[in-house]
Amino acid sequence: MSAGETPLTVVGNLTDDPEIRFTPSGAAMAKFTVASTPRTYDKTTNQWRDGTAMFLRCTAWRDLAEHVGDSLTKGTRVIVTGRLRQHDWQTPENENRSMLGLEVDEVGPSLRFATAKVTRIRSGAPASSPGADAWNTSAPANGGWGTHAATPPATDSKYSDEPPF
């Protein structure tokens, strides 16, 4: 991380299955949204109260993107760390738009309410190869997450025009 970047760690739940796409050069990209809702304890009512939910669009690249697609699904409680980025673009109607998103450096399941089994895989080898070297995570189906196959490369012409988050 270089000077001037804004690091951020978010804990929350995936709002949907990660969307896996591929750039024209073949680099994998995973887009997903994390919902994080603050909770406070109200001593007067002896109850927990939910605050306003924050929805943060996240983007992971290359091997990390493929691991996200293979490991995480809607509802998974995750811990995501990365760099906060602002993306500016113009709509076809020439309206200026801007949004904040998280360019993901690390992501994994939260073990607060679930368990996970971690399997090492060899870097550059398919996730199903034995004797691996990078991390691939899987968990019981009742833990709220499982496997998700990556989709084929995107051929949609909108792909290069939309924001990366």
Contact 143, 71 (CB under 8 A): no
Q: What is the spatial distance between Cα 70 and Cα 146, in angstroms, rounded to a whole number?
A: 8
Q: What is the spatial distance between Cα 69 and Cα 67, in angstroms, rounded to a whole number?
A: 5
- Which residues, 6+ apart, have CB-to-CB distance to 75 below 8 Å? 13, 14, 144, 145
Q: What is the spatial distance between Cα 61 and Cα 28, in angstroms, rounded to a whole number?
A: 6
Q: How many CB atoms lie within 10 A of CB 42?
A: 9
- The pLDDT value recorded for residue 135 is 41
For the entire predicted model, the pTM comes to: 0.70
How does pLDDT run across 47-68, given as a tens digit for each residue?
Answer: 999 999 999 999 999 999 999 9
User: Average pLDDT by consecutive 10-residue portion of the chain (165 residues)?
Assistant: 82 97 96 95 94 96 95 96 93 94 95 88 56 42 38 40 54
Q: Could you tell me which residues are beta bridge partners of residue 136?
A: 119
